[in-house]
Amino acid sequence: MNSAIGPYKGGRRFHPSVNLDILKFLAFEQTFKNSLTSLPMGSGKGGADFDPKDKSDAEIMRFCQAFITELYRHIGPNLDIPAGDIGVGAREVGYMFGMYKKLTNEFTGTFTGKGFAFGGSRIRPEATGYGCVYFVEEMMKTRHSGLEGKKTLISGSGNVAQFAARKVLDLGGKVLTLSDSSGTLFFPQGMTEEDLLHITELKNKPGARLSEATQYLNAEYLESQRPWHIPCDIALPCATQNELDEDNARTLIKNNCQVVAEGANMPCTLAAIDIFRDAHILFAPGKAANAGGVSVSGLEMSQNSLRLNWTSGEVDERLHSIMQRIHHSCIEYGTVDGTTGYVRGANIAGFVKVADAMLAQGVV
């Protein structure tokens, strides 16, 4: 899509919904998200309409190998660095990297999201969730507050949601919910570290549902309900696109929610975002709030180039610093007459860097 500030960088998606229009849209959004990180990364997106659901491990491996057999000529550590996305996790990245290595006879940092044993980065699975909470922490500071004791609703129960919950607990917040496609797991007294550990173990079992967790956790399962009707201070939609609509937005405002940050990609509808803006709710768009994942992908690229492995603490410190810089950019470009619009700030800050680079490089 764009390589003005660095090599093409974006995820590869395996899902039946994949088509050219979707990939172009996602790559366009990726342009500004990558720009916000301040790392030298351009943007791209790719994938196939292959559905890995209900496929055997061998079938998935063979598809990944066939996919790279066609793609390998067009990627490289200084050209295009793919990563994972929907349907493409560490297993699939490993299969694709292995085939790329066989075809090129090179061990290079051509992929991110790799296993740690062969060039991956520490805390890559945690990065999006951690980064989202770091961004919220900066937002709360603008109102002279913090996460200590704040009631937090989190939707989803995958990597992003689990690690967002982990970081909220670390910073003293109270996590009230996680969810899946069938309903919401509600902790009236707040989730404990032990609760989160049980949920993580449960989610590692194929086909497991959150409703099963009520057997051994002090929680209620709200069948077929989203979490947004529960009173809270902070809402983190971390599940899927368009999961939080205008009715949910009005309910959150009525219940005195102060901050909404998108942990997933575009989980809030445009109507919901307009309602948050009109109510002067602190709202962080995904291109800023969930940039932690691609930020650590960029840090993985750096480690591969340097032939180094940083510790978890070193990567986490760099991630925290990146999210603080993104927040600062949103404030710088999004503040008008003393009021900050994070959507405006993220869009302008991301655009300006790319546009300046393109103008400086001339018409080529």
Strands 282-284 and 183-186, by their bridges, are unpaired
Opening angle at CA 273, ends 270 and 275, nearest 5: 115
309 marked among binding-site residues: no
CA gap 254, 248 in Å, rounded? 10
* Residue 362 DSSP one-character state: -
Amino acid at the residue 302: S
Distances from the Cα of 242 to the Cαs of 222, 224, 250, 268, 276, in angstroms?
Answer: 20, 16, 15, 5, 15
CA gap 42, 280 in Å, rounded? 33
65 marked among binding-site residues: no
Q: Tell me which of 45, 150, 167, 353 is the catalytic residue.
A: 45
* 53 has catalytic annotation: no
33 marked among binding-site residues: yes
Strands 8-14 and 220-223, by their bridges, are unpaired
30 marked among binding-site residues: yes
Distances from the Cα of 40 to the Cαs of 44, 45, 126, 178, 312, in angstroms?
Answer: 13, 17, 22, 35, 22
Supply the angle between the helices 312-334 and 127-141 in degrees, to the nearest 10.
50
Which residue from 56, 60, 57, 58 is spatially nearest to 14, judged by alpha carbons? 60
287 marked among binding-site residues: no
The H or E element spanning position 325 is helix 312-334
Distances from the Cα of 27 to the Cαs of 11, 76, 127, in angstroms?
Answer: 9, 18, 20
Alpha-helical segments (H) within 171-291: 193-203, 246-254, 270-278, 286-289
**Binding-site residue ranges for substrate:** 9, 30, 33, 84, 297
Could you give the residue numbers annotated as active site?
45
**Binding-site residue ranges for NAD(+):** 128, 159
